[in-house]
Amino acid sequence: MRVDRVLFIAPMPPPTHGQSLASVALFEALKLRMHDLVVVDTSEGGGSALGKLLRKMTRSARALWSILCERQSVPVYLSVNSGSGAWVSLGLVLAARIRKRNLVLHYHSYQVVTKRAVRYRWLVRGSGPRAIHVVLSVGMATALRERFGARVRCMTLSNAGLIDTVTAEPRITAGAPSVVLGHLSNLTQEKGIREVVDLAVDLRRAGREVELIVAGPIVNHQAGEQIARAQLALGANFRYLGAVYGADKRDFFGRLTHFVFPSTYKNEAAPLVVLEAMGAGIPVAAYDVGTLHEMLSPSDLLVPVHQDFVSAVSAWADQLDWAEAHAASIAKFEEMTSAYNDEIIGVVSALVGPSQ
């Protein structure tokens, strides 16, 4: 059955991050099929902590009011919050159940399958048997069903379609004379800045010709200390670029031979920066978190979280066939992008009905 109106509850930019970019992409795809989209932006925006909290509370209240007051036939798309914010999502889900609405829940954090928390159990089970749960990968769908029951209705929608094709344009040629390590993130210990610097310093001490380029905002003083340590240990072979966007980000990826992402961040799921590196044909080494075991190519390196990242990457870099890894990264990225095009059509159809 086709519907003529959808209640779309999701964070929109600003700020720009994976969840808000996914919201924009799905919103644009829905607009191609229908004109009556009721958008409730749940983003906290910018500014002070108090301002963000008040904005989040006000917008969540508006989302609740919309669920309760829209006519009953209007389905709800809900971009699910992670962490303690999942309690807010739970309240919205229960309101939708009271109004007997069709629900599509979209998860952007792997915590729903890894964290044994009451809020996630109530969220999935409270959504009812008709709800559709949109997850980031086939493996995440399998894990969700294993945890909450085989009857949970899942669809996949990866983050591959969120990558700017200009940023992802392959720009590296084979035969690079040295190792140029790159790391891009919101720089924190959880995102792996310490391991990144340790790796570059270790390779340098072993006599390898190595350069390290780091980009992204410094979030706390611990990350700042690691940047200072890299400057002291590597000298002219270290560059810190700060936050990069557009052409600057393209140039960042274009200089690299290896992208390293030793993140253990609790909400890590399908990091966009890894997809950008793969699209540029850069071999990736990362800790095995979120959906990375399904994203990386066979030539990339996935390190179990309990193992030493530095020694594992050092050995991998020595043995890597760079040209082969370059081609494998691009091929895997193109495979995921192609699948994304089909996946987003499926999610849109789940909300509004099949195209005619």
List the pLDDT tens digit at each of the 356 positions of the chain: 678 899 999 999 988 889 999 999 999 999 998 888 999 999 998 888 899 889 999 999 999 999 999 998 899 999 999 989 999 999 999 999 999 999 999 999 999 999 888 999 999 999 999 999 999 999 999 999 999 998 999 999 999 999 875 555 554 544 444 899 999 999 999 999 999 999 999 999 999 999 999 999 999 999 999 999 999 999 999 999 999 998 899 999 999 999 999 999 988 999 999 999 999 999 999 999 999 999 999 999 999 999 999 999 999 998 999 999 999 999 999 999 999 999 999 999 999 987 65
Query: Which whole-number Å values give the CA distances from 171 to 115, 156, 330, in the listed order?
Result: 39, 30, 11
Whether 7 contacts 66, CB under 8 Å: yes
Both tokens assigned to 9: 């509850």
Q: Inter-axis angle of helices 86-98 and 49-69, to 10 degrees?
A: 10
Domains of the chain: 6-157 (3.40.50.2000), 179-333 (3.40.50.2000)
The answer to whether the pTM exceeds 0.85 is yes
Residue 11 CB burial class (10 angstroms; 0-12, 13-18, ≥19): buried
Distance CA 282, CA 250 (A): 12
Residue that has been written with the tokens 């919201």 in this structure: 23
Contact between residue 351 and residue 29 where contact means Cβ atoms under 8 Å apart: no
Supply the pLDDT for residue 120. Answer: 95
Per DSSP, the three-state class of 104 is strand
Could you write out the three-class secondary structure of 277-333?
HHHCCCCEEEECCCCHHHHCCCCCEEECCCCCHHHHHHHHHHHCCHHHHHHHHHHHH
